[in-house]
Amino acid sequence: MNRTLIVVKPDCVGKGMIGEVLKRFEVKGFKVISLRMLHMNREMAEAFYSVHREKSFFDELVRFITSGPVVAAVLEGREAITVVRSMIGSTDSVKAAPGTIRGDLALGLTDNCIHASDSEESFDREFKVIFG
């Protein structure tokens, strides 16, 4: 069994879609190991997105993720990172396939409803930022 981290972003939390997002993973067979609702401050957000620090969109990511509450969850299941990334869809929600979380629940690029770890290294770093 593998683990991964998802973060339901402020746009999705604001639309009342937390349950819908978590339900999709539970129906697929993932187990929710840890769950936390929080409002990231700038320091947390900068650490969370540290791999993007030198990119032009870094400030936009930080500004958006700190704009409202988020819900973070650690999911456990077979090939968790790969399967969850497939379930969430393309980063640009407009290009995300129907049936994916972003394809069904979002229209934005930064405000794209959900984040999911893209590797074991990302999971380790992101988990420490969110859960300490």
CA-CA distance, 110 to 12, in Å (whole number)? 12
Q: What is the pLDDT of residue 91?
A: 94
pLDDT tens readout for residues 30-73: 999 999 999 999 999 999 999 999 999 999 999 999 999 999 99
- Tell me which residue range forms the domain holding 44: 2-131
Our count of domains for the chain comes to 1
**Identified catalytic residue from 45, 115, 116, 123:** 115
Residue 91 CB neighbours (<10 A): 13
Active site residue 39: no
Distances from the Cα of 76 to the Cα of 32, 45, 56, 127, angstroms: 7, 24, 33, 13
Average pLDDT, the chain: 97
Mean pLDDT computed over 115-125: 97
DSSP E strands in 19-130: the ranges are 31-38, 70-77, 114-116
CATH code of residue 56: 3.30.70.141
